[in-house]
Amino acid sequence: MFMVDTHIHTCLSPCAELDMHPSALVEAAIRAGLDSIAVCDHNSAENAGAVQRAGQTAGLAVIPGMEITSSEEVHILGLLPDLAAAMELQSKVYRSLPGRNDENTFGMQVVANEFAEVLGFNEHLLSGATTLNLDKVIAAIHDVDGLAVASHVDREGFGIIGQLGFIPPGLPLDAIEVSQRTPLPVARASFAPNGEYSILCASDAHEPKDVARAATYMLMQEATLAELRRALTGEGGRAILGGGRPMEDLALHILDIAQNSLEAGANLIEIVISENLREDLLTILIRDNGRGMDPKTLAKATDPFFTTRTTRRVGMGLPLLAAATKATGGTLAIDTKPGLGTTIRAAFQHRHLDRAPLGDIETTLMVLLAGQPDKDICFRHSVEDRVFEMDSRDFRAAEIDLTSPVGLAILREAIRRGEAGLREHI
C-alpha cells in the first residue's frame, strides 16, 4: 500500500513559496509519511529532475509531471513516465505558451537543484494559458505516454467544472482530482456518481506545510507511473483504495493509529466507533495485541516530537488525536503494558462545532483490510441502535482474496452498504 500526493509545486511555479525548493519539498513529503509524490509545476518541468534526485537520496519515489493550463484556462495534470517524456511535453508547452514573466507582477520562477542552490529563473509566463485547447493538452500528454488528470475539479478557479460548467462527454481523462476541501464520499457523489472517473485526492501544495494535506492511498507493487495507471483501471489487483486529509478526518486518525499497531507487531486490531446521539457522545476505541508501551514510552506518547516509527520522522498520530479530543471538551485515554498490547479510547462531544468530521471510513477499512490481508481486523460502528460490523477473518473463511479485483469490489460494496445503513432514518 502506498500513500501518494500527486500534485505538488516547487519554487518554479510563480504562485509557490520560495522555500518550496526540491530538497525542502522532499523533506516535507518524508516527514508527512508519503511514499511517493508527483511534482507538477505550472506549464514547466524544469525542477522535476532535481526533485527526483533529492527523492532518490531520501528514499522517496518521485513522478515527474506538469500542470498545464489549456486555452480555456482549465488546469490539467500530466503525470509522466520519466524525465525524457517530461522534457518532450515541456517543449510542446513552451512553443504554445505566449508572453514573458514579470517577476514584480506574477512572482519569481526559480530553477533550483537538489542542494537548494538557485540555478536561474524561468522567463516563460508560466502562470499564463497555453494556446492548446483541452483536447490538444490531453492528446499531448497521451503522446508521451502520460496520464491526464483534471485538476481540483471541486474548485471554481481553473477547475474544469468551474470554467466550463461540466466535464465534456467523451473527454479522454484518465482521472479527476479533488482537493482537501472535499471529502472523498462527497466527491464520488458529486463528480462520479456512476463511477465515471477514478478520483485522486491531492494537496496542490505550494508551500511545505501543505504537502500531503490531501493524499491518495493506492494498492500497487511499486510507486511508478505504470503501477499508478494500473491502479486507476483496477488492473491486476491494483486499486485506488481511497483518500482524504491525513490527520484531520477522524477516520484517518484511526488509520494512522492502526498502522502504529501493525508496526508494533500486532496481528489483531479491534476498532469500535460508537455514536450516541441522545447523549451527544462519539467514542472511538482502538485495541491491539502488539508489544505495548513501557511507562517511559507511554509518558511521551502524546509528544509530537517523539516516535518509534521508522516510516515517519515526527509521530503526530496520538498528539493530534489528543488535540482533537481536547478541542471538543473530550478525553483521550491510553491503557498499555509491555507485551500486552495497547487500548486507546477517544471521546468527543458529538455535536461540538470543533469536532473533526468522522470522514471516509471506507478509505480506512480498504487500506487496512486490503493492505494487510493476513492480519485480523475487527470493526464495529454503531449509531444509536444500528450496527455495522466487519471482520477480516470472515472474508478469509469465505476464501475471498481481498487483494484481488473481485475481492476488492466485494469489500468496497460491503463497506458502503454497511455505512449507508447506519445513516438511514437519521
Mean pLDDT of the 357-378 span: 94
Mean pLDDT on 135-153: 98
In this predicted structure, the answer to whether residue 325 has a pLDDT above a threshold of 70 is yes
pLDDT, residue 311, reads 46
Mean of all residue pLDDT scores within the chain = 92
pTM over 0.75: yes
Which one, of 172, 14, 168, lies nearest residue 104 by Cα?
14
Question: What is the number of H-type helices and E-type strands within the chain?
Answer: 14, 17
pLDDT of residue 299: 76
Quickly state the pLDDT bin for 298 (edges 50, 70, 90): confident
DSSP 391-419: EHHHHHHTT--TTSHHHHHHHHHHHHHHH
State residue 313's pLDDT score: 38
The predicted-structure confidence for 93-114, as pLDDT tens digits, reads as follows: 999 999 999 998 999 999 999 9
Question: Using one digit for the tens of pLDDT, what is the confidence trace for 172-196?
Answer: 999 999 998 898 889 999 999 888 9
pLDDT-based confidence at residue 302 (cuts at 50, 70, 90): low
pLDDT of residue 319: 82
Give percent above pLDDT 90 in the chain.
Answer: 82
Q: Pick 295 or 2 by higher pLDDT.
A: 2
Q: What is the pLDDT of residue 426?
A: 56
- pLDDT value at residue 249: 87
Distance, CA of 8 to CA of 22 (rounded, Å): 11
pLDDT for the residue 425: 56
Close Cβ partners of 180 (under 8 Å, ≥ 6 residues apart):
201, 203, 213, 214, 245, 248
Q: Does residue 379 register a pLDDT over 50?
A: yes
Q: Is the dihedral of CA 203, 207, 212, 213 positive or negative?
A: negative
Q: What is the band of 293 on the pLDDT scale with cuts at 50, 70, 90?
A: confident
Using the predicted structure, report yes or no on whether residue 301 has a pLDDT greater than 80. Answer: no
pLDDT recorded at residue 369 = 96
The amino acid at residue 82 is: D
The C-alpha angle with vertex 203 and arms to 370 and 218, in degrees rounded to 5, equals: 15
Q: Is residue 315 very low, low, confident or very high in pLDDT (cuts 50, 70, 90)?
A: very low
> Domain limits of the chain?
2-244, 250-422
Task: Identify the pLDDT of residue 309.
Answer: 46
CATH superfamily of 2-244: Metal-dependent hydrolases (3.20.20.140)
pLDDT score, position 314:
35
How confident is the model at residue 280, as a pLDDT?
Answer: 95
> CB within 8 A of 186, min separation 6: which ones?
none
Burial (Cβ within 10 Å: 0-12, 13-18, ≥19) of residue 425? exposed
Residue 312: per-residue pLDDT: 43
- Contacts (Cβ under 8 Å, ≥6 apart) of 14: 42, 101, 106, 107, 108, 109, 126, 127
User: With pLDDT > 70 as the criterion, what percentage of the chain qualifies?
Assistant: 95
Give residue-wise pLDDT tens across range 50-88: 999 999 999 999 999 999 999 999 999 999 999 999 999
Q: Is the pLDDT of residue 332 over 50?
A: yes
* Domain at 250-422: CATH code: 3.30.565.10
